[in-house]
Structure 1
Amino acid sequence: MIRTGFILSVVLAASLGLACPACGSKTRCTVDVLVIGGTTSGTAAAIASACEGAATLVVEPTPMLGGMISAQGVAAIDGNHQMPSGLWNEFREAIRRHYGGANAVATGWVSNTLFEPHVADSVFKAMAAAEPLLEVRHGYRLVEVYKRGRQVTGARFVDETGGRLDVSARVTIDATDLGDALPLSGTSYRLGMDARADTGEALAPEQANDIVQDLTFVAILKDYGKGADKTIPRPAGYDPAEFAHSCQTAEGKPISAEVMLNYGRLPNGKYMINWPVNGNDVYLNVVGLPYAERDAALRPAREKTLRFVYYIQHELGFRNLGIADDEFPTADGLACLPYHREGRRLDGVIRMTLDDVTARYDRPAALYRTGISVGDYPVDHHHDCRPEIGKIPFPPVPSFSIPAGVMIPARTENLIVSDKAISVSNLINGSTRLQPVVLLTGQAAGTLAALAAKQGCAPREIPVRRLQAALLAQKAYIAPLYDVKPDDPDFEVLQRIAATGILRMTGEPFQWANRSWFYPDRTISVGEFSRGLHDYAPQVEVTDDTALLTAASASELLRKAGGTIAASSDTRPITRREAARMTDAALHPFDRDVDFEGNLK
């Protein structure tokens, strides 16, 4: 990511007003961008915002930064292994350097990238500390969102001692796990499963309900060595029958206890206990509860994890595995917060559904043109604790983009939404909730906030293409290309052309890491090129010509589309990469903005 120089940052800090006095009973701050929640997306948003030159404050209730992958202990990354985009790639490279390379973090079978939560916290804190325009405040929770008419103008926070933090901001980002700023700001949202008639998704239930995915209180176990006995006291209500079927796969195939534990095996002899198969998932819907009441309501989830830990130690015989004493500053040693897979979901200017992923080129809205982050994970829902839901037969999906409009409320101004509270359907939330996607959406949210704050306009007024261009400059993906990496000399060109749809991606569902291919070194037919150009320039007639596209035929079609390009006599077939370069140079199609539905302006 391209970072602002130190001297320039200091000047900007002075001019933009990053001024928070020392903590006291009542503190007032004025910033360009306020990020509510140092979650996975919130931390990325804050770093990106400061990097773009905006005076930024992130406020986080726990002492850790990083949300899911630190304070919540989900230290095994799901997805995006082959899409090293933006801040996700920066974070992963820092993790790899810490442990000694990519192989050193491929320790468990659930992921290619596993690490200790406290290391993730230290990496994020180091990244944040490198930004002079960024301040982090720990220990405060959100209690009020300030508004003037439809415009959010800041927020109020309190700490455990009753200390108050009042923040005024040009732009505010709700990066909380559960979308806590939405009701406080009067912003419309949804909760639970959508009705089929509402989203048009065939797999949605006929009637809407308020059921969210199961949550988990993660434990990190540590190997204290042969002969050690770290067995915790027998928890109240313990019954080994509760976990008798935990040593099996989701399909019911028996596995050994070692295989079950190695699911989340971390470096340095630690194990992430986030096991969905008759393990420590639990159904609790605490979304609507006031923050102060959540701890008590979540106690059953902590207790279930403690019972599972005791089962692993006492019944399975792993007495040497004790709750890690160097991860979380909590009384029981479990994660600071539960792993919420789902909370409130914004009513945005657009809503992304499962069908927008499975049929991206056949939808009324061309949302693929508006991508601001990417993901490749299948649709993954946890509902085993509510068996009446049944198994949802999710279709295979390709890798996908998150559209810009999911971050923008339909009616509230100067509020951007990230993390899991973006405007998506309940079904596709099963893919958009994963750590790299959330992190990258946060990067986009922070970039958008900074652009809006610096220009003095509402976030919805920033052109989609301007936001995408800023992200591309940060080596972040806007199109989910499996076969074009940031070190490709044509990375930005191919990303731009893929985002126009003139040269389309080919989707491929593939195990747990789905793909979208650009195939830059393949040839292309005249007919295929004409179809892509027709969407951009209707005066180009669509043909069924199966002849391979040449420089001569490409230049002729580009001139018909209004491009500035000399005629060519070269009849050599060209590759999709060459066609993309010619299109980019002749038409500059990415310079033509699109609205939030992907319609060309």
Structure 2
Amino acid sequence: MQRDLSADIVIIGGGLGGCAAALSAAKMGLKVIMTEETDWIGGQLTCQAVPPDEHKWIEQFGCTRTYRELRIRIREYYRRNYPLTERARKIEYLNPGNGWVSHLAHEPKVALAVLKEMLAPYISSNKISLLTGYRPVEAEASGDSVETITVEHTQTKRKLILKGTTFLDATECGDVLPLAGVEYVTGAEAKRETGELHAPDEASPQDMQPITHVLAADYLAGEDHTIEKPAQYEFWKEYQAPFLKHKQLSWLAPDANTGGSKEFSMFHTENHWGLWDYRRIIDPSLYKRGFYEGDITLINWPQNDYWLGSIIDVGEAESQKHLEGAKQLSLSLLYWLQTEAPRPDGGKGYPGIRIRPDVLDTEDGLAKYPYIRESRRIKAQFTVVEEHINAEIRGDKGIERFEDSVGIGCYRIDLHPTTETNTFFYTESYPFEIPLGSLLPVRVNNLLPACKNIGTTHITNGCYRVHPVEWNIGESAGFLAAFSIQKGINPAKVREEKALLKEFQSLLEENGVQLHWPDGVGPI
């Protein structure tokens, strides 16, 4: 049986962008329905198990006020609830895991608790209705407007028809776009389409960044927690990508700077960075002695990037094959680490690595959802291209300023080896702005992207995809949807009329959305 539900704004996808959009729309007094495919909101920060990728100024500036509030609340959660040492308790910018990838490497469950806490008053007041376990399966459109989106429960198969004035696609893969007939692109665009220096001569719609199925583990030296040999272990043990000079399961990883390989180790040595504390989320030295048996880390390393195929627009069977392949790669990496990884003492394997299903609330210890680096992207009224951000190309021109900016972000252009051409690319970029035009589809007038599905290219998605940027995109999209509804206009009108644009940007700034970078900020 199908039921109809309605709200002012319908958000499909409960990741960081979806949560930020729901909060901003609810603050404006509008009613919101937000769905999420898994049973955890928070996307890449929680159900994908990726600690925040951020820039070096994040503690001082360069994110929205609510994103900063999220980070502060996460630290305070540890101070309130965990037996931190007195020294750790006094650290202003506490890093619970002391992971070197992030200033705030922490447990996914803590981020989940904080996000629920931030949404709680709006759920209580019926401003936000949250539906977990639902994914979009159908959409109805009339002309240039979306009328309804049908979602289906992943377990019970119950369907709900959702009606709204404005719809936001905050799914990890841009799943609403094909259902609603919204024009979009995937993969790598051709140079003649974007004019980008590093774009290929021919478009490759299936040439996308790899997915990674993250797993959680701790390390108990002297113990043996070796898992059963994964079904695909022999394949991955022998697999060597044709574009690399090393096997997948090794201490070597692709080096985007040289095109060759760079060497890591399990733990830090004089000559090599250690991967174990790369995304470590619990450093026992910060807590009461004996509280933790060992470090807890999230294994999202170059060795478990899965690039053998895309999961977008390839059909259900092909998608499932690659999803399972990504899981098998991660489990094979774990088994290799436990049994065959070379150690500095000449031995092999670290059998004390213990998979931790409880950390991610799954039976197998793998994240609830794979880490998605690249989504479908709307064909937008304005598309951000490499020349707007690549520091080498921009030279001394500095940060590209957009008159219609609705936020900011900063990250290097970072493309992991892709699924068809196996291209990987890493280069310095200038901090960037988020133009309103990149949130506006070329045709459909009441659907907005609220995740990594905005008007970027394959190349620029490589820096617009990270946590604080996705949050800013969602937050600004939520405010835009609410502002437009209250004005009785389509969102595109806000960009077309300077007075409306100025009023909207003032609204964003009043709510803590930074529109421009301060002077003097250089590339990273």
Is the structural similarity TM-score above 0.5?
A: yes
| AA in 2 matched with 1:216 | T
- CA drift at 1:469: 1.4
Q: What TM-score, normalized to structure 1?
A: 0.72
Which residue of structure 2 lines up, in the alignment, with residue 187 of structure 1? 182
Alignment equivalent of 2:230, drawn from 228, 235, 242:
235
Percent same amino acid at aligned positions? Answer: 29
Alpha carbons of structure 1 residues 384 and 59: separation in structure 2 relative to 1, 3 Å: closer
**Aligned counterpart for 1:87 among listed residues 60, 66, 90:** 66
Residue pairs, 1:36-55, within 5 angstroms: 36-55=12-31
Unaligned runs of 5+ in 2: 80-91, 239-246, 268-273, 284-294, 342-348, 495-499
CA distance, structure 1, for counterparts of residue 64 and residue 71 of structure 2? 10
CA contact (8 A) 2:208 2:418 kept: no
1:272 aligns with 2:298: yes
Which residue of the partner structure matches residue 516 of structure 2? 479
Choose which of 344, 357, 372 in structure 1 pairs with 2:376. Answer: 344
Query: In the alignment, residue 164 of structure 2 is paired with which amino acid?
Result: A
Equivalent residues in 2 for 1:448-463, closer than 5 Å: 448-462=480-494, 463=500
Q: Would you say 1:30 and 2:6 are equivalent positions? A: yes
Amino acid at match of 2:300: N
1:138 shift after superposition: 0.5
Partner of 2:164: 169
Deviation sequence 1:377-396 (CA, Å, 0-9, x none): 1100001665x4445464x3
**Matches of 1:434 and 1:182, distance apart in 2:** 21
Which shifted more, 226-235 or 259-268?
226-235
| 1:92-241 → structure 2 map (5 Å cutoff) | 92-100=71-79, 101-105=92-96, 107-131=98-122, 132=125, 133-159=127-153, 160-210=155-205, 211-223=207-219, 225-239=220-234, 240-241=237-238
Taking the aligned partners of 2:135 and 2:316, their CA distance within structure 1 comes to: 8
Structure-1 separation of matches of 2:31 and 2:316: 28
Query: How far does the alpha carbon of each residue in 1:442-489 deviate from its partner, in whole angstroms, 9 at most, with x for none?
Result: 1101111111222232111233322221221111211123xxxxxxxx
Q: CA deviation at 1:61?
A: 1.1
Partner of 2:42: 66
Q: 1:342 offset after TM fit, Å? A: 0.7
Q: TM-score, normalised by structure 2?
A: 0.82
1:315 corresponds to which residue?
Answer: 340
SS in 1 for 2:163: strand
For 1:290 and 1:31, the matched residues in 2 are separated by: 32
Aligned residue type for 2:110: V
2-structure distance, mates of 1:249, 1:292? 29
User: CA 1:411–1:244 in structure 2 vs 1: closer, same or farther (change >3 Å)?
Assistant: closer
More relative contact order, 1 or 2 (CA 8 Å, 6+ apart): 2
Rounded Cα–Cα distance in structure 1 between residues aligned with 2:93 and 2:252: 28
Contact 1:105–1:112, Cα closer than 8 Å, also in 2? no
The structural deviation recorded for 1:65 is 0.6
Evaluate the alpha carbon distance shift between residue 283 and residue 117 of structure 1 in structure 2; reply closer, same or farther with a 3 A threshold.
farther
Pairwise CA distance, 1:28:
1.8
Q: Deviations over 1:336-372 (max 9, x none)?
A: 1111111211101111111122478999xx8622211
The DSSP-based 3-state class of the residue aligned with 1:284 is coil
1:468 match: 505
Q: Which amino acid aligns with 2:506?
A: A
Deviations 1:8-62 (A, max 9, x none): xxxxxxxxxxxxxxxxx43221100100000121111111111121101100110
Larger displacement relative to structure 2 (286-295 or 451-460): 286-295
Aligned equivalents of 1:467, 1:222: Cα separation in 2? 47
8 Å contact 1:77–1:114 — kept in the other structure?
no
Q: List gaps (5 residues or longer) in structure 1.
A: 1-24, 482-504, 511-601
Deviation at 1:255, TM superposition (A): 3.1
1:375, distance to aligned residue in structure 2 (A): 1.2
Say whether the 8 Å CA contact 1:190–1:344 is kept in structure 2.
Answer: yes
How large is the RMSD of aligned CA atoms in angstroms?
2.5
The equivalences for 1:257-406 within 5 A come to 257-258=266-267, 259-267=274-282, 269-276=295-302, 278-289=303-314, 294-316=319-341, 317-358=349-390, 368-383=402-417, 388-392=421-425, 394=427, 396-406=428-438
CA distance in 2, matches of 1:135, 1:413: 24
Q: Residue in 1 aligned with 2:522?
A: 508
Conserved? CA contact 2:9–2:30, under 8 Å: yes
> Which of the pair has more CA radius of gyration?
1
The letter for the 2-side match of 1:478 is L
Please tell me whether the aligned partners of residues 35 and 46 of structure 1 are also in contact (alpha carbons under 8 angstroms): yes
Please give the alpha-carbon distance, in whole angstroms, between the structure 1 residues aligned to 2:395 and 2:305. 39
SS of equivalent residue, structure 1 residue 32: strand
Output one character per residue of 1:233-283: Cα deviation in whole Å (capped at 9) or x when no partner: 01123244544432568363433211111111112531111101x344434
* Pairs aligned (count): 458
Q: Which amino acid aligns with 1:378?
A: R
